[in-house]
Amino acid sequence: MTFGNSKLLASLIVVPYILSCEAIFLRRQRYFVKLENRVVGVLILHEKLDALHISSLAVAPEYRRHGIGKQILNFSEKIAKKRGKRWLELTVLKKNTPARRLYEKSGFVKKKERRWSLVMQKEA
């Protein structure tokens, strides 16, 4: 999938995605990563009492393994520190090996295990 200037692509994919994010992630901060006028990543954060929770982190397939995910995590950590949060946390599917590898390399450790997912955290 490419993120071009196509109005059809925007109306069929991007607009419904943003609207669903508005409904699902109400009151959460959303950040979009743009390169060369293309949206290549998304980050959605939710504040908890002592943690900043990464509700969603995604990078477009053709831009993966270029350090964008790592940069998004570094950005998230800076926000957590700025807001005085002790932890940065996220949930990842157990089967999502590439994402788990990225999080572990970035210093996240397993906090809790669920049936299909892991809750991971890192000190901010």
Q: pLDDT by residue (tens digit) across 10-68?
A: 555 555 666 665 555 556 788 999 988 889 999 999 999 999 999 999 999 989 999 99
Q: Dihedral through CA 36, CA 7, CA 69, CA 75, nearest 10?
A: 80
**pLDDT tier, 1 (very low <50, low <70, confident <90, very high otherwise):** very low
User: How far, in Å, CA of 55 to CA of 25, rounded?
Assistant: 8
- 28-123 has which CATH code? 3.40.630.30
User: How far, in Å, CA of 48 to CA of 37, rounded?
Assistant: 32
Mean pLDDT, rounded, of the chain: 86
Across the range 69-81, mean pLDDT stands at 96
Kindly report the pTM of this predicted structure.
0.76
Is residue 124 within 8 A of residue 77, CB to CB? The reply is yes
Q: In the beta sheet, which residues pair with residue 6?
A: none
Judge whether residue 116 has pLDDT over 80.
yes
pLDDT, tens only, 8-18: 555 555 556 66
Which residue, 40, 53, 61, 41, is CA-closest to 86? 53
Across the range 87-98, mean pLDDT stands at 95
